[in-house]
Chain A
Amino acid sequence: MERPVESELLELIRNGDFKAFEVLFRLYYPRLCAYAHFYLPEESDAEDIVQDLFVSLWCRRRDLQIRTSLSAYLQRAVRNRCLNFIRRYKSRRLLRGDETRSEFFSDVCSVESDSLLPSDPLEMCEIENRISLIVQGLPEKCRRVFELSRFEGLDYLQIALKLGISPNTVKVHIFKALTRLREGLSEFLPVFVFFFCLFG
């Protein structure tokens, strides 16, 4: 279902309304960056990809064919760009003969659906607020570990060193935070899990 607000925005943008384009940009930029950041470890790469997408969106505004919601379209575009980036990155890693990376991550990436972000910006805000509340409500150490891992991109060994705790404790904290979030966000997560083929 297409949201009326979104379809209006899209129509204005098609007609060359730069102001409408700015509204769209400001609405989605941080969220799409966060989404891209899941695929790409570097925040700056994530930002580059989302900025490229918006520049190309404006340049192609007259020929845009969007059949799903705008939000789903943007997510799909970001995801495709990220996967292309990863593919290039991987081939480069091969050239360098670096360590083989875990395949788990890329397996999940390659089959994930595009619908992580809700198509309604309001629902998105609600989720964001809810997450902030849950994270704020975590026990102090657990919150710190979670923030360092999720928002600052440190791995568990780096966190262990930084906070002076054992790596195992770090993992326990991460899992605890995950569990709390799962409980707190249950209504937003589809009960039916759509890819059983995932690890087949």
Chain B
Amino acid sequence: MEKIPEHICSIIAEAVTGRLPRDDDRKLRVWLKECPERKGRMVRYLRIWRLAGLAGARDRFDANRAWKCVRNRIDSEAVLEKPGKERKRQSWYAVSLAASLLLGTTVGALWLGRPETAPVTRYLEQTVPRGALSELALPDGTKVTLNAGSRLRWSTGFGTADRELEFRGEGYFRVARNETLPCVVHLDEGVEIRVLGTEFNLRSYPDENGVSVVLKNGSVRASLPRHDRDIYVRPGERLTYDRKTGSLSLLPTDTERAGAWRENRLVFDDTELETILRTLERRFDLRIAVLRPEILQERYHGEFGDDETPEAIFRIISADKRFRYRIRGRTVEVY
């Protein structure tokens, strides 16, 4: 067998680790092409490298911990199959235990199922009216800030029996880490966000087509209708999904700006007027009537501090004369 020249040895050593610079890649290919027997040797080195990865696998990958995760996921999926299907047929019995914790915020308890059937799953929910913000802590230590017009619902077993949330609106989630019990956020129309422990901003209003997830840290997996494979979002990325068309995008983004609403700041980056108007409606509790729907697709950039009035914001957005507006009390006409 021919002796492999030293510089090729060192390139092969790099190649098996998978980080070959373009230049060396070319050199190696040339060398391999010169003689068919060399290819065989190269392939053998790659196989050895792979096989070597098997050694110590039992120490590096903890099957006990992983088995708990897998068993929990299988359990939770089996449990979820049933109530999910029955939920639509049964009616919700809302009982207002309504204790106002925060200004403009109500907490209520809901029963799932007919009152006479036992056992009953009890649900708690928090809704945030327009013009308000709300913060809450869930039993497992997860903290959520909810934007105006949002609703979060969880079961009384949250944190022990399950970590399932039903959510609509906009929220900033800091999910406590629990690898054995992943947290699953169910959004409208079958969108699911699955996390272990992480910080992210989630926006999914029922009156907007777009769903967006912006991840600050940790990792998030999204299951989307019309997409067979789950999408993994990484820190610093924004996943947007259009419920109507099914299209999605995954792009780097500024995570700080996505959470700016928590300080009552408004940030619009290439945002459609339609979304801007809905945001303003919720933020200031306005009713906005649009008389020229064709302008709704126009896009705008802008940032407003926490002290801006609706008047000032409309004046600035309409400065380029793409639309005009009239404000009467809480009602705005855009034309």
Chain A residues engaging chain B, CB cutoff 8 angstroms: 22, 25-26, 29-31, 33-35, 37-38, 41, 43-48, 50-52, 54-55, 58-59, 84-85, 88, 92, 95-96, 100, 102-105, 108, 116-117, 124, 127-128, 131-132, 135, 146, 149-151, 155-156, 168, 170-172, 174-175, 178, 181-182, 185, 188-189, 193, 195-196, 198-199
**B55 nearest CB neighbor, chain A only:** A131
Q: Which of B52, B66, B250 contacts A51 (CB 8 A)?
A: B66
Q: Does chain A have a CB within 8 A of B294?
A: no
**The one of A25, A37, A168, A181 that contacts B70, using a Cβ cutoff of 8 Å:** A25
Look across to chain B and name the residue whose beta carbon is closest to the beta carbon of A102: B20
Is the pair B44, A189 in contact by a Cβ cutoff of 8 Å?
Answer: yes
In contact, A156 and B60 (Cβ under 8 angstroms): no
Residue of B nearest to A132 (CB): B55
Asked whether, in the complex, the Cβ of B43 is within 8 Å of the Cβ of A29, the reply is: no
- B→A interface (CB under 8 Å): 9-10, 12-22, 25, 28-29, 32-33, 36, 39-40, 42-58, 60-61, 63, 66-67, 69-71, 73-74, 77, 219, 221, 229-232, 234, 237, 250-252
Contact in complex: B54, A88 (CB < 8 Å): no
In the complex the two chains form, is A34's CB within 8 Å of B39's CB? no
Give every chain A residue within 8 A of B50 (Cβ-Cβ).
35, 38, 116
Q: Which residues of B sit under 8 angstroms from A150, Cβ to Cβ?
A: 49, 52-53
Q: Can you list 7 A-B pairs with a CB-CB distance of less than 8 A?
A: A30-B57, A35-B53, A105-B18, A128-B56, A151-B60, A196-B39, A199-B42
Q: Is the CB of B20 within 8 A of A104?
A: yes
| Of listed A59, A84, A105, A189, residue having the most chain B CB within 10 A | A105
**A195 and B43 within 8 A (CB):** yes
Complex: A185 Cα to B52 Cα, angstroms: 10
Cβ contact within 8 Å between B25 and A175: no
Please report the C-alpha to C-alpha distance between residue A38 and residue B61 in the assembled complex, in whole angstroms.
14
Residues of B close to A116: CB separation below 8 A: 47, 50-51
**Bound CA span A146–B56, Å:** 13
Check A26/B53 contact, CB under 8 A, given A95-B250, A168-B10.
no
Choose from B15, B17, B230, B231 the contact partner of A155 (Cβ within 8 Å): B17
In the docked arrangement, what's the CA distance between A117 and B17, Å? 19
User: Are B61's CB and A47's CB within 8 A?
Assistant: yes
**Residues on the B chain within 8 Å of A85, using CB:** 232
Residue of A nearest to B26 (CB): A104
**Number of CB contacts from chain A to chain B under 8 A:** 171
- Closest residue of chain A to B58, judged by CB? A30
Chief secondary structure at chain B's binding surface: helix
Q: How far is the CB of B33 from chain A (nearest CB, A)?
A: 7
CB contacts (< 8 Å) of B53 on chain A: these are 34-35, 37-38, 150-151
Query: What is the CB-to-nearest-CB distance from B93 to chain A, in angstroms, rounded to a whole number?
Result: 32
- Looking at A31, A34, A170, the one whose CB has the most chain B CB atoms below 10 A away is A34
Instruction: Report the minimal beta-carbon distance from B77 to chain A, rounded to whole angstroms.
Output: 7
Residues of B within 8 A of A95 (CB): 250-252
B57 touches A33 (CB 8 A): yes
Q: Are B44 and A193 neighbours in the complex by a CB distance under 8 Å?
A: yes
Contact between A31 and B57, CB atoms less than 8 A apart: yes
Give Cα A30 to B251, complex, Å.
Answer: 33
CA distance A150 to B52 in the complex (A): 8
Hey, which chain A residues are within 8 Å of B19, CB to CB? Answer: 102, 105, 155-156
Give the most central of B43, B49, B58, B250: most A CB within 10 Å: B43
User: Which 6 residue pairs of A and B lie closest in terms of their CB atoms, listed nearest first?
Assistant: A131-B55, A34-B57, A174-B13, A193-B40, A171-B10, A33-B61
Contact assessment for B251 and A132 in the assembled complex, using a CB-CB cutoff below 8 Å = no
User: Does B47 lie within 8 Å of A172, measured CB to CB?
Assistant: no
CA distance A30 to B77 in the complex (A): 24
Question: For the complex, what is the distance from the CA of A31 to the CA of B54, rounded to whole Å?
Answer: 6
Q: Check A34 against B54 for contact (C-beta < 8 Å).
A: yes
Q: Are A182 and B54 in contact (CB under 8 A)?
A: no
Pick from B44, B67, B69: contact of A26, CB below 8 A.
Answer: B67
Residue picked from A59, A96, A104, A189, most chain B C-beta under 10 Å: A104
Chain B residues in 8 Å Cβ range of A178: 12-13, 16, 45, 48-49
Report the Cα distance A117→B55, complex, angstroms. 12
A34 partner residues in chain B, CB cutoff 8 A: 53-54, 57, 60-61
